Structure 1
Amino acid sequence: MRNRQAKSSTIGSLGLLVPLAVFLLGGARAATTLSGWTDLFARHNTAVMAGLFLVFGLKLLGDGIGIVTS
């Protein structure tokens, strides 16, 4: 269980670490790249949120089925 939590926290922190790495290592191109990512996610906000809620819903459904069957 502990290893699973470590993987989850590592994956969860990628949303912060990847843009930070681009900012620190990207030099002059970092501002353009990060601005492009911001525009992309602003345009596709609904799809990103739908995907996120789908993952949460499937996780909750799987946990519920696991409880019922055990």
Structure 2
Amino acid sequence: EDDKALQVSQNLVPVVSQETLDANPDIEETLNALSDVLTTEDLAEMNGAVDLERQKPEDVAQAYLEEQGLLG
């Protein structure tokens, strides 16, 4: 928990090149779905899991995506 308000509020925006979108047409829908649910608080919790608890980033990301119903 950020009890000292050190983690400022942020607008989370995925940035992808047009070339990547053209090569992977489904990625836009996937990123939009992620943007709909990902919050600054979620990101801070995931960063803590990786930085403080030493969990693997890919494991933290997978667990989050599964919890949000974004993998299927």
Same fold (TM over 0.5): no
Larger radius of gyration: 1
| TM-score, normalisation: structure 1 | 0.31
| TM-score, normalisation: structure 2 | 0.31
Answer 1 or 2: which has greater helix percent.
1
The structure showing larger relative contact order (alpha-carbon pairs under 8 Å, at least 6 residues apart) is: 2
